[in-house]
Structure 1
Amino acid sequence: MNDTYRNFVNSPLGARVVRSLGLPQPEVLRRYRIGQREAEFGGIAAIGAGPAPSLFEVLAGVLERIGMTSVAHEQALAWLAIAQRRQSMSGRFAPVAPNASAQERVAALIFDATGIADSLQLDAAYAFFHDTLRSLGACGRIVVLGRPPERCAHPRQWTAQRALEGFVRSLGKEARHGITANLIYVGDGAEDGIEATLRFFLSPRSAFVSGQAVRIEAATIDAIDDWTRPLAGRRALVTGAARGIGAAIAQALADLGARVAGLDIEALHDTLSVTMHGIDGAAIDCDIAAPEAPQQIADALDAMGGVDIVVHNAGITQDKTIAKMTADAWRNVIAVNLAAQERIDEELLSRGTLRDGGRIVAVSSIGGIAGNVGQTNYAASKAGVIGRVQCLAGGLRERRIAINAVAPGFIETHMTAKMPFALREAGRRMNSLSQGGEPGDVAQTIAWLAHPGAAGITGQVVRVCGQSLFGA
């Protein structure tokens, strides 16, 4: 959907107007587009660190493989020795002039905080970002690497590592210009499992994901021969796939090589068929709330050879304040948005239709985190999605199945296009990027969680909301 305000403020006249009035000036975000020819990665990453950084070797390898060069901040000069030994191009960081061109600015700021064991050592984070933030270009990336606080042996280390969350979220709100900031907590033994997540957070695929703290635990990572098609040979089910976010998810998974079966209600059969035809996928007509739906879905998937990725995207809204809400409106939303996921997963897991090493990704919502007026049914269902993800993660580890949720904020869809103008504009601007997201933003986040390299991420909720000011 067209964002007239964003387009205006990025014109020469509009830029002058908003600067004079002090209005927000949302950047036109650099996003990944399916089939694009533009390189995903490039430019320079400035490297910083606290004391005793532990991820330099792994990080250097990732930057080599994605084609980014590096410069080291004065507190991370140990980086230069590693780069020299690996024969990688690197140098020392030098601030750029305020009027520097886009080509002169760095593309990413990466800070290894894994060795910070005391709150006073957070000075290193201050020093690095104080010196480098103004040198980061538009739509740049900030990534901080730490250790999971709850796994820290000493209270001071736990305290310092937990402090990184507030620090990173504040950076995301200060940076502006389409810049995102995210935190990756790397568990002991998970060091070699961070590449897929680093690639995601450093790429345009994460354009609308900011202020997130993702935990990676030790897991078996399947070999990835082709990073452009890591899902080749895998089968995926996407519910609610006919249009909007569901169609974008199906397309994103197919773009990475998956064979996709899309599911939607019979009334959307023609639309679903067109969507699936475009990605050489299969269409399944089904009302997921019907009593017989789980068995029908499992039968269809078994006939295709089983499934490796299940994406629960289908959902409805029937909004009213609870005093005016009918019992049917309450039950319908709970049945479709939550109970159907429970019943389908129970069937797929008990029959072995979802194969070992698979992925379940459920679409929740910021509404399930922060709540919304007139959406007690919807918010309850989406909070329930988060609860089941957190509950099931431990038990599924035995089968190497990871389960996670994404929580979209304001996304430009046919549903939000029908909102009153004032509410729509408020939804767009009330986040750190001052604009709405696109269906592709949700889809790319789900594709990352479905990636074989993301096996160490489970039981988590990732917000796709531009760092919404609500539910943070």
Structure 2
Amino acid sequence: MADWYTNFANSGFGTTITKQLGLPRPVELRRYEPGQPLLPGPVVIGSAGAGRLRDTVTAVLRDAGVTVQSPVTADGATGGEELGAVVLDASGLTGPADLASAHDFLAPAIKRLRASGRVLVLADPPADATTPAQAAARQAVDGLVRSVGKELLDGSTANAVFVPEGAEASLAAPLRFFLSGRSAYVDGQLLTLSAADVPANPDEEKPLAGKVAVVTGAARGIGAEIAKVMARDGAHVVAVDVPAAGDALARVANEIGGTALQLDITAADASQRLVEHLRERRAADGRQGVDVVVHNAGITRDKLLVNMDAARWNTVMAVNLQAQLDITQALLDADGVLRDGARVVCVSSQSGIAGNRGQTNYAASKAGVIGMVRAWAPEFAARGATINAVAPGFIVTEMTAKMPFGTREIGSRINSLQQGGLPVDVAETIAWLSQPASAGVNGQTVRVCGQSMLGA
């Protein structure tokens, strides 16, 4: 599915009409394609505070073939070339006065940012501050980044990564993700890293080569796109969906060279059947066990709370939340099935953060996913594994195409990028969280919403 208005606004006739009427003109976003460079232009790196991450960032970018320029001065002294990205190393902030350096660097640099450019701010976690002034300065990064994201034009995004001392080795994968086309619809987000064993020299083209990935709800929509992106990145995908979707599921599995598994994830024996499939049937081709589990399956049964019957409530909770709990626990308990360094990615929703009228059951279930991920993160870390969530905003799918026109258009425009996301945007974020190089991302929830005006 495509965003019709974005396509129209970027056509010859549409550009003229939108300019004449003063309508918003969302641009076509820079999305990832295999083989493309990390950035379409050079990057400048500036500092606010001590700036202990600059050398790490510079090394990662140069290894990726990116040209690193000197910081831009207030009068634009470094020349007129458009920038692919602007990176601010704000680690070492001691108090609000240090934030002046952030303004002095960002203001002239952003003026030279090209379309679909990237602004990334790196800082120390506010929770690790030792004084109120230090905590204030670090927390200020939150408001700074979210506001910059709403000021940027032409499909550019702003995000932040909090890097605790000792977690510097975990920075490379988030750095590459947030600067690349994989993060096209991720805007105004803040991620906190943790120290982890990160593999050296990851395969950027096939980061999931040799991995087995389970994707639930894979027969159509976002789930089918997740399966395709995971396969593109090298994984063998076990595509799971209900028997009623068997034909569509088989088509997806055949297209990507994966395996179709018809399974109602709410059935009493669902977890055991999945474990047996991974342990026994996959052993036949040398792929026993699983490296990545994507809990994508989800449903809606909308009604105002006062009019909602128990069946609607219970069905949504069973599919969206309880099944994720049951399957994950079964995989943790089954000896040798969840491989070392495993990745579990759970699909939450913007509704689970902001709430949504008529979706108390759905919003509660998706908020529950975030709580589950946060609570399980320490146990996963102890196993050398990770568990994270993605929270999609308005994604253009066959389901949203059936919404009333006005509701659909408002939902897709009230974000910093002025357009709905695509299923591939969710899939790219999940695939990144699934990579071995993302070992330092654990217990986090990443919104894929174009920085929606709804919620935090």
1:100 alignment counterpart: none
Which of 286, 305, 322 pairs up with 1:339?
A: 322
RMSD across aligned positions (CA): 1.6
* Cα deviation code 1:48-102 (max 9, x no counterpart): 11132111221111111211101121689xxxxxxxxxxxxxxx96263xxxxxx
Sequence identity, in percent?
49
- The alpha-carbon distance between structure 1 residues 311 and 435, as it changes in their structure 2 partners (threshold 3 A), is same
2:277 alignment counterpart: 300
Which of 180, 184, 195 pairs up with 2:161?
A: 184
Report 1:74-223 matches (<5 A): 94=78, 96=80, 104-223=81-200
CA distance in 1, matches of 2:247, 2:347: 24
* Cα deviation code 1:36-55 (max 9, x no counterpart): 45434342001111132111
* 1:231 Cα deviation from its structure 2 partner: 1.5
CA distance in 1, matches of 2:219, 2:295: 13
* Cα deviation code 1:158-184 (max 9, x no counterpart): 110110011001000000210010001
- The alpha-carbon distance between structure 1 residues 93 and 393, as it changes in their structure 2 partners (threshold 3 A), is farther
Tell me if structure 2 keeps the 8 A contact 1:46–1:93: no
1:59 alignment counterpart: 57
* Cα deviation code 1:416-467 (max 9, x no counterpart): 0110000000011000000000010000000111111111111111000000
CA distance in 2, matches of 1:30, 1:392: 34
1:81 alignment counterpart: none
Tell me if structure 1 keeps the 8 A contact 2:38–2:66: no
CA distance in 1, matches of 2:340, 2:402: 41
* 1:383 Cα deviation from its structure 2 partner: 0.5
State TM-score, norm by structure 1: 0.92
Bigger drift between 10-19 and 298-307 goes to 10-19
Which of 304, 323, 328 pairs up with 2:311?
A: 328
CA distance in 2, matches of 1:169, 1:73: 22
CA distance in 2, matches of 1:109, 1:39: 16
1:246 alignment counterpart: 223
The one-letter code matched in structure 2 to 1:423 is: T
State TM-score, norm by structure 2: 0.95
- 1:250 aligns to what SS in structure 2? helix
* 1:9 Cα deviation from its structure 2 partner: 2.0
1:439 alignment counterpart: 423
* Cα deviation code 1:130-158 (max 9, x no counterpart): 11111000000111111111112222211
CA distance in 2, matches of 1:293, 1:194: 37
1:415 alignment counterpart: 399
CA distance in 2, matches of 1:284, 1:11: 42
* Cα deviation code 1:16-52 (max 9, x no counterpart): 433343322101111114xx45434342001111132
Tell me if structure 2 keeps the 8 A contact 1:216–1:457: yes
* Cα deviation code 1:257-312 (max 9, x no counterpart): 11111100011111111111122111110000111101001110112200111100
CA distance in 2, matches of 1:274, 1:12: 37
Report 1:212-291 matches (<5 A): 212-291=189-268
CA distance in 2, matches of 1:224, 1:450: 16
Tell me if structure 2 keeps the 8 A contact 1:333–1:381: yes
- The reply on whether 1:377 has 2:375 as its aligned counterpart is no
| Unpaired stretches in structure 1, ≥5 consecutive residues | 77-91, 97-103
- The reply on whether 1:461 has 2:438 as its aligned counterpart is no
CA distance in 1, matches of 2:55, 2:408: 46
Tell me if structure 1 keeps the 8 A contact 2:45–2:69: yes
CA distance in 2, matches of 1:459, 1:407: 13
- The reply on whether 1:389 has 2:373 as its aligned counterpart is yes
- 1:323 aligns to what SS in structure 2? helix
2:285 alignment counterpart: none
The one-letter code matched in structure 2 to 1:200 is: F
Bigger drift between 6-15 and 295-304 goes to 6-15
The one-letter code matched in structure 1 to 2:414 is: M
